[in-house]
C-alpha cells in the first residue's frame, strides 16, 4: 500500500508546485507612454491650439464655398478633415495647466466638434 501512496504523493506535490509557480519571468515589461505635449508650456500649447483653429477657419471658408456650389461631397470631406484637426486641438487643450483657460478652450472646441459631427451627418 505504501508503494501506491508514494507515487500519488509525489504527483500531488509536483502538481501543486507547478501550478503555484509564478509564470513571471522576472522582467517588468510595462511601458509608460508620455504625451508629447506634457513637456510644453501653456504658451506653447496655446500657440499650437490657435494654429489648429486657424486651420479650422480655412477649412470653414472652403466648406462654405463648396456648400454654395452644392458640392456636398466636398463639404463632407472637409468636415471630416476638420473633425480630425478639432480633435487634435482638443487633445492639446487638455494639457493646458491653467484651469480657466483649459475649461474655456475645451468648451469652445467641443462646440466646434459637435457642429462638425452634425455637418458630417447631414452631408453623408
Backbone φ and ψ of 23, nearest 5°: -90, 0
Per-residue model confidence (pLDDT) at position 40: 79
Classify 16 as helix, strand or coil: helix
Domain boundaries, the chain: 36-123
pTM (two decimals): 0.67
How far apart CA 35 and CA 42 sit, in angstroms, is: 14
Which stretches of the chain are DSSP H helices?
A: 2-20, 42-68, 72-93, 99-123
Span of 27-36, 73-82, 100-109 with lowest mean pLDDT: 27-36
Amino acid at each position: 500500500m505504501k508503494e501506491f501512496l508514494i507515487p500519488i504523493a509525489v504527483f500531488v506535490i509536483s502538481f501543486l508546485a507547478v501550478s503555484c509557480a509564478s509564470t513571471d519571468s522576472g522582467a517588468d515589461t510595462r511601458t509608460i507612454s508620455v504625451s508629447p505635449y506634457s513637456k510644453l508650456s501653456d504658451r506653447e500649447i496655446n500657440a499650437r491650439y490657435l494654429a489648429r483653429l486657424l486651420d479650422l477657419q480655412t477649412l470653414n471658408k472652403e466648406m462654405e464655398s463648396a456648400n454654395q456650389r452644392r458640392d456636398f461631397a466636398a463639404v463632407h470631406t472637409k468636415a471630416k478633415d476638420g473633425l480630425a484637426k478639432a480633435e487634435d486641438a482638443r487633445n492639446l487643450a487638455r494639457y493646458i495647466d491653467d484651469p480657466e483657460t483649459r475649461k474655456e478652450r475645451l468648451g469652445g472646441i467641443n462646440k466646434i466638434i459637435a457642429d462638425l459631427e452634425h455637418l458630417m451627418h447631414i452631408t453623408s
